Amino acid sequence: MSPTDPTDKKVVHVYDDIEEEDNHLPNWWLAILIGSIVFAFGYWFVYHTAELRPTPLAAYQAEVAALREARIRANPTSPEAIVALSRDAAAMTAGAEVYRTTCAACHGLSGEGIIGPNLTDRYWIHGARPEDMLKAVTEGFPTKGMPAWGPILGPERSLQAAAFVLTLRGKELPGKEPQGDPVE
């Protein structure tokens, strides 16, 4: 018999009358396997060991941060912009000064409330969202005794004051009794 004769089989195993032969794997399958192993090693080396390039997650996070910054620059009065401003130390120093000179007389130095409501508890009369706070600072509530500070302070200082009030939220300082609706 010749080596290519189909009757020349090397049966390795028989189970339920099924004969299992010892065949070689196809070359294209072996090429894909070896190529995958080489690619995995290269990927591991480039992204995780040598850190020649940022990982896909890091690149994605950088792109999202750049988009967020662009949106904030495009609309500085958006809720995202006010929250971002509340995390900026220099802006919060300026916001604390604006708060101390314009708001502390009614809301207390720490926001505990004197004439105006307590700004540190979870109860809010006119909403606790960043845009609600900016609206409260700029337009005020003349019927309740709060003047519109927007024309006096200007847009930048109004934003700083609203962002500073955001930092007071949740401190739960003892002071004036709760007013308004609870906000989580």
Could you say which architecture CATH assigns to the domain 79-182? Orthogonal Bundle (1.10)
What average pLDDT does range 76-101 have in this prediction? 83
Please give the pLDDT value at position 39. 97
* pLDDT range class, residue 1, cuts 50, 70, 90: very low
**pLDDT tens digits along 15-72:** 888 888 877 889 999 999 999 999 999 989 988 888 788 888 888 999 998 988 888 7
Residue spans of beta strands (DSSP E) within 16-115: 18-21
Q: Where are the domains of the chain?
A: 11-49, 79-182
pTM of the model: 0.61
